[in-house]
Amino acid sequence: MMKKIIAFLACVLLMTACSKDSTISHDYRCFFVFDTSLHPLPCQLTGIVGNNGLFMKVEMSQRQGVVYLHTTRNYDNAVDDVRLSTAKENQVNYSLGANNCIIIGTSSYDFVLTCFDGQCANCMENDGGTNYPLTWTNSGLRLYCAKCKRSYDVNNGVVADGEPGRQLYRYQAALDGAVLRAWN
């Protein structure tokens, strides 16, 4: 009897250990890799790493076969175009969430690197589609959706102003040595 109980508990433990983290969104693919050693300061994206409360909106484009990251800093709306020109960078199959935009930075609440989708989660869920871009407001402390008029706290992704609703779609983020990553 004891062997059956132990076997049952082991099965339950294995099933719960394999469940995905419910705070990480899997609705839209996110895969982003950025080697800060290849892009030293004054590159804005390199500059936010490890600095609490600093976030960057990151979008990707391709011009004449070259991949560029278009970044917008939260506290001053400064923009930067980063050319990804090495063979290593051009082998990556980037995917930046619902509509080619992620928000990445370090929370000033818990000092954890975090990443959100750059589109309004409530509008995507309620109205369908993926074109509900968020813009910086309140000195870069909030992200605003012009369609539903909600503001989200950039540090945790929750609705800070407007009609209550779901938080922003969140992706995993990490800094591995000099490599900044976001994925789901």
Q: What is the mean pLDDT of residues 70-75?
A: 97
HSE, side-chain direction, 13 A CA sphere, residue 110: 7
pLDDT in tens, 105-161: 999 999 999 999 999 999 999 999 999 999 999 999 999 999 999 999 999 999 999
* Domain, as residue range, for 42: 25-183
* Domain annotation covers residue 11: no
* Domain annotation covers residue 10: no
* Domain annotation covers residue 134: yes
What's the pLDDT score for residue 10? 53
Residue 18: pLDDT band (50, 70, 90) is very low
Strands 151-153 and 159-161, by their bridges, are: antiparallel
| CATH of residue 169 | 2.102.10.10
pTM for the model: 0.86
* Domain annotation covers residue 4: no
Main-chain dihedrals φ then ψ at residue 43, nearest 5 degrees: -55, 120
Q: How many domains does the chain contain in total? A: 1
* Domain annotation covers residue 19: no
* Domain annotation covers residue 37: yes
Residue 50 above 50 pLDDT? yes
* Domain annotation covers residue 13: no
Please choose, from the candidates 91, 95, 99, the residue with its C-alpha nearest in 3D space to the C-alpha of residue 32.
Answer: 95
